Amino acid sequence: MMLAILTNHAQAGQTHETPYGTSAPIEQVQTEGPPLLVCSQGYADPRATVHALKTLGATHLWLCEAVGALSPLLEVGDWLVPDDYIDGTRGQHYTYFSEKAGGYVQQVPPFDPASREALIGALQAVTPRPFTRGVYVCVSNTRLETPAEATFWARAGGHVVGRFLSPCLTLARELDMAVAVLACVTRVGGAASRDAAPLRYERIIAAAAQLLIGS
């Protein structure tokens, strides 16, 4: 098993040439568990970055992101492992099959059940309020959502709003990678936000990886 982490903070590391162009920088990080491949979307074609991760041996791609709360049940500091998502983005490269007939990957279930169970098990050991279900809404990665958009997505059934799930995790599914999301609430959806320190997810990810290996 090789675990790749997609984050909302730029990473150091090496870029890689692929049939889709140059990937975003990918860094190999040593943790208490197995080594991780860590990257962010950046400005690279997401197809290139996901392809590079697969070539480097990644079998799993987990998004670890600071998100905004759309549900009044969620507070700043809460952690969530979503079980579904809404893709509100547009104009991106969503598939490797755009120039081929067919090309369709079922999105049910939206996330890998084994990855979700491992993340939930790790969360339960470190936080008194682990949220084990919820709908992640992905908006454009170029800006935060407006207050009106936050209200719209909350009424549509969203619980948290983030910017980096699409299209990387759907592309990863086309390459037979297991995908999941670990989200930390750092703001209220639709509210102004200050630049936050990088999300500290390493302890949770290391524990989840050990649970996944042992399952």
Could you tell me the residue ranges of all domains in the chain?
Answer: 3-190+199-214
Residue 69 — very low, low, confident or very high, per pLDDT cuts 50/70/90? very high
Residue 195 — very low, low, confident or very high, per pLDDT cuts 50/70/90? low
Cα 198 from chain centroid? Answer: 15
The answer, as to whether pTM is greater than 0.85, is yes
Q: In Å, what is the CA distance from 66 to each residue of 162, 171, 178, 194?
A: 7, 21, 21, 12
Neighbours of 87 (CB within 10 A): 17
pLDDT, residue 197, reads 67
Does the pLDDT at position 102 exceed 60? no
pLDDT, residue 143, reads 86
Does the pLDDT at position 101 exceed 60? no
Q: What is the mean pLDDT of residues 115-134?
A: 94
| CATH code assigned to 3-190+199-214 | 3.40.50.1580
pLDDT, residue 135, reads 98
pLDDT, residue 196, reads 66
- Judged by average pLDDT, the poorest of 43-52, 68-77, 101-110, 157-166 is 101-110
The terminus-to-terminus CA distance of the chain in angstroms comes to: 12
Q: What is the mean pLDDT of residues 32-55?
A: 90
**Residue pointed to by tokens 């509100």:** 88
pLDDT, residue 158, reads 97
